[in-house]
Amino acid sequence: MTDGIDRYAVIGRPIRHTVSPLVHGLFAEQTGQAMTYEVIEGPSSSSEFAAVVRAFIVDGGKGMNVTAPFKADAFSLADEVSERAWLSGAANTLTFTADGRIHADTYDGLALCRDIEVNLGQSLAGRRLLLLGAGGAARAAIAPFVAAGPAEFVVANRTLSKAAELAELGGRLGGTVRACGYDSFDGLGSFDVVVNATSASLTGELPPVPMRSFDPAGLAYDLAYGRGLTPFLHHAQAAGVAHLADGAGMLVEQAADAFARWRGLRPRTETVIAELAAHSN
């Protein structure tokens, strides 16, 4: 335990690749906060996740970021959950309150939307949006994407029923979302923004999205980061897409939201995104 300094951490498995300590260190320096931020390699079994978190709390931990594969476990562990976390069934940020309760939230979807619209200057309002994947990352994005007001919103997934679940959720949130399988791209035309929320890039694979789905003047966005051009981004580049982006900006934005939850002030993100880009090169 570090006397007088609040402790935070990120937990995941594997976690060695994380740049979260760098990001939060830059936030702390920028805002003059006295805190530490460490890396915890998660247990091999999700059943042991709660014990690891509670041990960190006992040792003075104030909050924790959660990454794969523990986001659903973090949600289940919490005593209180935000509406965002409830909608996605997952949490990427835990806050440990003075009365011993665990609060869960997720900022992934908000951060993704902010990175696209603010940092990259690509408005989603009135545009055609294609979201690839129907896992936790895609589910977290549904509400912010619906709120952004795309003219057309399609969720594509290998298993159509899972895409249909997200489309139904989007409908309950007031949007019009269409679901399709990877074998049903014919007739859909091209999209202004194509977001890869599948795990394919983590294993060096390409989701089966045809080149005709990309609008050359649009944006191709991959949630994976720190890997150079992923197979998805290479594919989009070959299709002539003008704007390519990975998830580094999303990572920084969600970290800033977690930092604000913990410390009561939101750091500036633009310089940290630039620093992260330099660190990755």
123 is in an annotated binding site: no
18 is in an annotated binding site: yes
Residue 233 CA: distances (Å) to CA of 195, 203, 211, 244, 267 = 10, 14, 11, 7, 29
138 is in an annotated binding site: no
- The verdict on whether 71 is a catalytic residue reads yes
Alpha helices by DSSP H, listed for the chain, are 20-31, 49-58, 71-77, 83-88, 108-114, 136-148, 160-172, 231-238, 248-263, 270-280
83 is in an annotated binding site: yes
- 60 CB neighbour count, 10 Å cutoff: 14
112 is in an annotated binding site: no
158 is in an annotated binding site: yes
Q: How far apart are CA 33 and CA 31, in angstroms?
A: 6
254 is in an annotated binding site: yes
76 is in an annotated binding site: no
Is 126:92 a contact under the CB 8 Å cutoff?
A: no
Q: How far apart are CA 108 and CA 140, in angstroms?
A: 6
Catalytic residue among 7, 24, 62, 71: 71
In one-letter notation, the amino acid at residue 271 is T
159 is in an annotated binding site: yes
134 is in an annotated binding site: yes
Q: Which residues are within 8 A (CB) of 32 and not within 5 positions of it... i.e. 6 or more apart?
A: none
19 is in an annotated binding site: yes
Give the rounded distance of the alpha carbon of 264 from its chain centre. 21
Is 107:85 a contact under the CB 8 Å cutoff?
A: no
266 is in an annotated binding site: no
* Residues that are catalytic: 71
Residue ranges of the annotated binding site for shikimate are 18-20, 67, 92, 108, 225, 254
Binding-site entries: 18-20, 67, 83, 92, 108, 133-137, 157-162, 223, 225, 247, 254
Annotated binding site for NADP(+): 83, 133-137, 157-162, 223, 247
